[in-house]
Amino acid sequence: MSGSPPPTGGFVRSVGLFQATAINMSQMCGIGPFVTIPLMVAAFGGPQAVIGFVAGAVLALCDGLVWAELGASMPGSGGSYVYLRQAFQYRTGRLMPFLFVWTAMLFIPLIMSTGVVGFVQYLGYLAPGLGQTAGDLVGLGVIALVVILLWRGIEHIARITAVMWTVMIAAVVLVIAAAAGHFSPHMAFTYPAHAFDLTSDHFWLGFAAGLTIGIYDYLGYNTTAYMGAEIKDPGRTLPRSIIFSILGIMVIYLLLQIGTLGVVDWHRMTDPRDIASTSVASAVLEETWGRGAADTVTVLILVTAFASVFTGLLGGSRVPYDAARDRVFFRPYEKLHPEHRFPMLGLATMGVITAVGFLIGRHTDLATLIQLLTTVMVIVQALAQIIALTVLRRRRPTLPRPYRMWLYPLPSVVAFTGWCVIYGYADENSPGRRPVEWSLAWLALGCAAFLVWARLEKVWPFGPQEISEEYGAGAAPIEAGPPVRRP
């Protein structure tokens, strides 16, 4: 996460193209598609919901090209944290990287909480009598178990990630195979009247909701950008890993979505009393291969959900730790457990927020939770980063750019527009929930927290402004002495 140059003997550029693409894809495809297919169908009101996954792929691809250029030109460890600091340090000091960490401490655990909601939904297929209170307790118990396991330290994360990837792929392949053997084109491609009426407000409202769900399913395409210091030949590998992973996951999602619609009547997915609305993959297996196969795949999905929350909180807890260590966040977050050497405060904070997000999702709905986490992401990570690309092109034209965005600035414009559509329709798609207002309130609170932190650290606007152009001489960070301090 840290944007500082890697120490001698530290990070090794050992991750090649195949590994990098697999890392991105493993982060993109967790429990998401198993719980969002009914949400997508409900948003569009029919099997034309496939549009949502295609639109999400287009937005992910255009936004991915932003990540590709920034990651190739500044291939350090940190991703958005590095890019925002390098682009905006001239006018706002460390405000933007601070706000990125601040928002990440909300949207990362909210993403994890969607996995716990999905866990409880699919558990309901195995235990039909699971009530609201019992489901709440099970979900909170899962979060507590994850935090307890992580509190003891972890030494085999690579093995756990590999197991999660294998289980997830097995579940996806089984669902696709089952659907392919019993596929009904009539069910999958028979649309309700006015399904594609582009003059209807209903279509565009559904499109915005579907785009939000779609981009949520593709989140993770930027994972290797956070590992820039460990990527071989990052100028070529980073852009390709992002593009290949998005295209690969798009194929998987389309096969999964279309296959599901060809087996399970889409009307069932919109009926909250039907198991297809909460455990659609289980419903597919039950319709095709019988209850035994459905139970087996449901167990695989539960393992996938648990493992995704486990690895997500493991990585997420490091975000405030690295920022605090790099003097861009509150110093208590850099304290490690004396024995197991993990960031205690970061893990505890994100564990609590995950629990709160889970209860919000359980007592509203999963679509509201997804809407909330995406609106929190939009302003700082999405829109500000797109602007950062243009700022760096103008302010630092000599910055080495092994990869330059295709058709610049068109992908930036498309990505910016897509994120604005998600943000602009957020309140309409979550009536009464007001995700836009909550996201603005969290951002305002973050600005206040920054002023408190800046006062304590005596940095801009309460001290000298620090300018550090670490990536000026080549494709890797340079160590040219301390930052320039401007009064």
Give 27's DSSP letter: H
Q: What is the pLDDT of residue 244?
A: 93
Element (H, E) at 484: strand 484-486
Q: Where residue 12 falls among pLDDT bands split at 50, 70, 90? A: low
pLDDT at 251: 92
Give the model confidence (pLDDT) of 171-208 as tens digits: 889 999 999 999 999 999 999 988 898 888 889 999 99
Tokens of 390: 């243009």
> How many helices and strands (H and E) does the chain possess?
20, 2
Residue 467 is predicted with a pLDDT of 82
**3.40.50.300, 2.30.30.280, 3.40.50.970, 1.20.1740.10: which CATH number matches 17-462?**
1.20.1740.10
Name the residue among 161, 218, 239, 221 with its Cα closest to residue 24: 221
Residue 321: which of 347, 339, 340 has the closest Cα?
347
How far from the centroid of its chain's Cα atoms is residue 355's Cα? 18
Distance, in Å, from the CA atom of 339 to the CA atom of 330, rounded to the nearest integer, reads 22
- The string of pLDDT tens digits covering residues 393-420 is 999 998 999 999 999 999 999 999 999 9
Tens digits of residue pLDDT in 327-372: 889 999 988 888 777 788 999 999 999 999 999 999 998 989 999 9
**Higher-scoring residue by pLDDT: 474, 157:** 157
Residue 1 confidence (pLDDT) above 50: no
- pLDDT of res. 481: 35
The reported pLDDT for the residue numbered 323 is 84
Tens of pLDDT, residue by residue over 40-77, are 999 999 999 999 999 999 999 999 999 999 999 988 76
Cis peptide before 431 (omega within 30 of 0): no
Residues 6+ apart with CB under 8 A from 186: none
pLDDT at 8: 42
**Is the omega angle on the peptide bond into residue 409 within 30 degrees of 0, that is, cis?**
yes
As a whole number, mean pLDDT of residues 413-431 equals 94
pTM: 0.88
Q: Which residues 6+ apart lie within 8 Å of 468 measured at CB?
A: 85, 89, 483, 484
- 127-139 confidence digits (pLDDT tens): 988 889 999 999 9
